[in-house]
Amino acid sequence: MAVMSATIGTAACKCSCGSNAGKLVDDRFPKLDAIIAKYKGKPGALIPVLHEAQQLFGCLSEDVQDRVASGLGISPSEVYGVSTFYSFFTLRPRGKWKIGVCLGTACYVRGAAEVVEALKKELDIPVNGTTKDGRFTLEVVRCLGACGLAPVMMIGDDVHGRVRPEQIPEILKEYR
């Protein structure tokens, strides 16, 4: 369970999520408690609580999951299971800009793997990694629904189609 501090309602945050990383006491925990209270006792409460917790903290670290489990009266393993099952939840902080490169059949055949390699090299991170400055997270996805524009990648909500590896530095310049 989360380590309680001397101040009621706060906890020492063991995570590196969000701007309060490294603070001895994390003042977001009382807000999390309010979120939990809003949903406690309602059927299907776990997913909306986790969603709001992730918005608050930036990710679902172990201490956040423990607080949710305790607050909702469920096991930490149930919270962890849901947190890791759904792709929209993350246990680690993500960058400001999430880059998703499609590796579905049409994109793969048209060179998406080379686009991924160019991004890894340009950003100096592996797939599922986040740049040191917290600006970018690189992920691969199975389909973005734009097969006619293959290979396709998304940065945030922006779709980039017919991407070639040599275009990566110029595309990223817009988000730096």
Considering 91, 115, 148, which residue would you say is the last residue of a domain? 91
Please state, in angstroms and as integers, the Cα–Cα distance from residue 163 to each residue in 100, 145, 157, following that order.
12, 15, 16
| 8 Å CB contact between 79 and 65 | yes
State whether 14 and 69 are in the same domain.
yes
Whether residue 126 sits in one domain with residue 78: no
Residue 44 contacts residue 92 (beta carbons within 8 Å): no
Q: What is the DSSP letter of 153?
A: E
Contact 25, 10 (CB under 8 A): yes
The Cβ of residue 11 has, within 10 Å, a number of other Cβ atoms equal to 23
CB within 8 Å of 175: residues ≥ 6 apart:
97, 135, 136, 155, 156
- DSSP, collapsed to helix, strand or coil, labels residue 35 as helix
Q: What is the CATH number of the domain that holds 141?
A: 3.40.30.10
Per-residue pLDDT at 87? 78
Which pLDDT belongs to residue 22? 47
Same domain, 113 and 164: yes
Query: What confidence score (pLDDT) does residue 169 get?
Result: 98
Same structural domain for residues 10 and 83? yes
Same domain, 21 and 81: yes
Q: How many CA atoms lie within 13 A of 141 on its CB side?
A: 19
Residue-range definition of the domain harbouring residue 43 = 1-91
Query: Among 44, 66, 91, which residue terminates a domain?
Result: 91
Per-residue pLDDT tens listing for the chain (176 residues):
343 333 334 444 555 555 444 444 789 999 999 999 999 999 999 999 999 999 999 899 999 999 999 999 999 999 999 999 987 899 988 899 999 999 999 999 999 999 999 999 999 999 999 999 999 999 999 999 999 999 999 999 999 999 999 999 999 999 99
Here the tokens at position 87 are: 């792709």
Dihedral angle sign, alpha carbons of residues 74, 67, 45, 88: negative
Q: What is the dihedral of CA 130, 132, 135, 137, to 10 degrees?
A: -10
DSSP state of 151: S
Q: What is the pLDDT of residue 145?
A: 93
User: In terms of domains, do 86 and 10 share one?
Assistant: yes
How far apart CA 49 and CA 39 sit, in angstroms, is 7
Cis omega (within 30 of 0) for bond into 126: no
